[in-house]
């Protein structure tokens, strides 16, 4: 072979290799959704910019119980309250954007908060770390759902006072609900604050931005919003993460009692396997029911120091209040580990460990207290299907939550529920489903149900964990990998096996060594 031919062949091979390398580079870039358009890039020191029809300005988001703020960009976003009457009342929805850590792709993460009733913006500080890896190349959109936060919130002082009483009285509940309705009716029509309305707000936002695709991240009730959005606007979905999922078929409230008892019994089964715990608490569930019966017969007034503001509080403790508190304890493994010892203390006459946790357990969910938006969702979408179940009468919660909801929804106006609302989510959109093994609200069987009708979904169950698991262990990294590749079934989730339950406290010093 002459020199010229050798040089030509070498040159050809170099060109081929360079082309292959470029292809590999583009493929690697597309793994995290990078688009050559760059239409959603933000200049390093930008104070103002426009995405589609929306003009964003630099802003700071306040944090509850903190002097710290979150840097963001805010934009005005107005929608009609009733889309069937676009010329009627308009409502302003609070919208914020958290910029990506690096150059942004053309898809947006959209965080859908729980509740119903939580503000996406107010709860973002608790979610930020969970989505830290995923938002390296993606902006995050925070839209306070109508009726929450600063989006024409349906706040009711009267109902908040009723809920803070920690007991249930039919006439008092009816009176508080009527007063609440009078308050919110001055600035809102509660019929138009449902999940379906929120889904259309979200799609209106997408169109205003120029129709990018969304990576939806729903937590608890937010998973209902995500599934309903998928049913109606599948073209707007790039990927979905469902953390502690509520299936479309679920009637909110119907299975709360069963789910709590199942979670507590599974929690106590871990105690039975630990010799020191089993010795200290031979039958935690029996002790729990003994305390319930005792408080049913003789409620008591308890004085305790508030752990947040250190003031002395006095509350009435009855069986319903105790059940509600234990349910809140069961949400996370850290507080669930306290339940056997806390119940034992109350049986011995010391209610301070139980009542003293109210301030800590309610931190982050204060907005749910007295929020009429919950009723707008529940009364339109679930109330007509809520039925007291004789089989759950003897559970810890019994039919309490069902009775409260039915009482309130006799008064609250009901919005529209689409005919196909209860049909399961389906399609081939990439979906990652996360569940906690000991979740007292949305157990793993819900995740199994949702995964059955989704062609491209993966379910991960975190052992020993409770409600809202996206921030646990390696899950933030897995969520990022999922959004990058959108291949849930090939995702290696073996690192989640490192998670497990927190050992139960056997006394005030903690678990056994």
- Structure tokens belonging to residue 195: 């999940």
- Tell me the pairing of strands 237-243 and 214-219: parallel
What sections of 298-433 are H helices per DSSP?
319-329, 333-336, 339-347, 352-355, 358-361, 372-381, 400-409
Q: Position of tokens 């304890």?
A: 329
With contact defined as beta carbons under 8 Å apart, do 112 and 225 qualify?
Answer: yes
- The candidate with the shortest Cα–Cα distance to 322, out of 333, 488, 308, 297, is 297
**Spans of all domains in the chain:** 48-153+194-251+422-498
Residue 61's Cβ-side half-sphere holds a number of Cα atoms within 13 Å equal to 25
Q: What is the pLDDT of residues 290-308, one digit of tens each?
A: 999 999 999 999 998 877 7
Low-confidence ranges of the chain (pLDDT < 50): 3-30, 32-36, 165-166
Q: Given this model, what pLDDT does residue 29 score?
A: 41
Q: Given this model, what pLDDT does residue 366 score?
A: 53
What sections of 368-454 are H helices per DSSP?
372-381, 400-409, 444-452
This prediction has a pTM of 0.91
Q: What is the pLDDT of residues 137-150, one digit of tens each?
A: 999 999 999 999 99
In angstroms, the CA 204 to CA 214 distance is 13
Angle formed at CA 81 by CA 80 and CA 84, multiple of 5 degrees:
75
In angstroms, the CA 215 to CA 238 distance is 5
In angstroms, the CA 340 to CA 352 distance is 14
Q: Please tell me the CATH superfamily of domain 48-153+194-251+422-498, with its number.
A: Alpha/Beta hydrolase fold, catalytic domain (3.40.50.1820)
With contact defined as beta carbons under 8 Å apart, do 221 and 243 qualify?
Answer: no
Q: Given this model, what pLDDT does residue 173 score?
A: 87
């Amino acid at each position: 072979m002459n020199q010229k031919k050798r040089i030509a062949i070498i040159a050809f091979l170099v060109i081929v290799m360079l082309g292959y390398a470029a292809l590999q580079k583009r493929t690697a870039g597309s793994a995290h959704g990078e688009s050559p358009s760059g239409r959603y890039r933000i200049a390093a020191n930008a104070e103002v910019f426009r995405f589609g029809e929306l003009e964003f300005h630099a802003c700071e988001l306040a944090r509850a119980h903190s002097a710290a703020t979150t840097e963001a960009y805010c934009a005005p976003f107005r929608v009609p309250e009733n889309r069937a009457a676009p010329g009627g009342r308009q409502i302003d929805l609070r919208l914020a954007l958290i910029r990506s850590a690096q150059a942004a792709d053309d898809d947006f993460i959209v965080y859908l908060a729980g509740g119903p009733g939580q503000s996406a913006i107010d709860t973002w500080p608790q979610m930020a770390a969970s989505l830290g890896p995923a938002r390296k190349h993606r902006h995050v959109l925070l839209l306070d759902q109508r009726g929450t936060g600063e989006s024409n919130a349906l706040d009711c002082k009267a109902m908040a006072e009723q809920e803070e009483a920690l007991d249930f009285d039919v006439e008092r509940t009816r009176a508080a609900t009527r007063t609440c309705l009078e308050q919110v009716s001055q600035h809102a029509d509660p019929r138009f604050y449902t999940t379906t309305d929120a889904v259309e707000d979200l799609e209106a936002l997408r169109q205003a931005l120029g129709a990018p695709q969304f990576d939806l991240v729903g937590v608890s009730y937010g998973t209902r919003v995500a599934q309903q959005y998928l049913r109606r606007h599948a073209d707007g979905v790039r990927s979905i993460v469902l953390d502690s999922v509520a299936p479309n078929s679920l009637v909110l409230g119907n299975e709360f009692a069963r789910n709590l008892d199942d979670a507590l019994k599974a929690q106590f089964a871990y105690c039975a396997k630990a010799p020191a715990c089993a010795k200290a608490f031979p039958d935690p569930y029996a002790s729990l029911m003994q305390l319930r019966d005792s408080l049913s017969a003789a409620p008591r007034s308890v004085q305790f120091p508030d752990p947040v503001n250190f003031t002395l509080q006095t509350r009435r403790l009855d069986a319903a209040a105790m059940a509600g508190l234990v349910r809140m304890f069961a949400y996370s493994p850290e507080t669930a580990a306290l339940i056997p010892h806390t119940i034992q203390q109350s049986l011995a006459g010391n209610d301070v460990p139980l009542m003293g946790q109210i301030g800590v357990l309610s931190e982050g969910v204060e907005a749910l207290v007295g929020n009429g938006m919950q009723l707008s969702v529940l009364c339109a979408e679930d109330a007509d299907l809520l039925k007291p179940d004789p089989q759950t009468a003897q559970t810890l919660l019994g039919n309490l939550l069902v009775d409260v909801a039915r009482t309130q929804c006799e008064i609250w106006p009901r919005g529209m529920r689409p005919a196909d609302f209860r049909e399961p989510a389906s399609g081939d959109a990439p979906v990652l489903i996360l569940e906690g093994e000991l979740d007292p609200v949305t157990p793993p069987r819900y995740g199994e149900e949702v995964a059955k009708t989704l062609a491209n979904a993966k379910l991960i169950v975190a052992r020993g964990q409770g409600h809202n698991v996206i921030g646990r262990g390696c899950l933030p990294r897995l969520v990022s990998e999922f959004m990058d590749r959108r291949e849930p079934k090939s995702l290696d989730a073996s690192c989640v096996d490192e998670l497990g339950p927190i050992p139960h406290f056997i006394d005030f010093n903690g678990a056994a060594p």
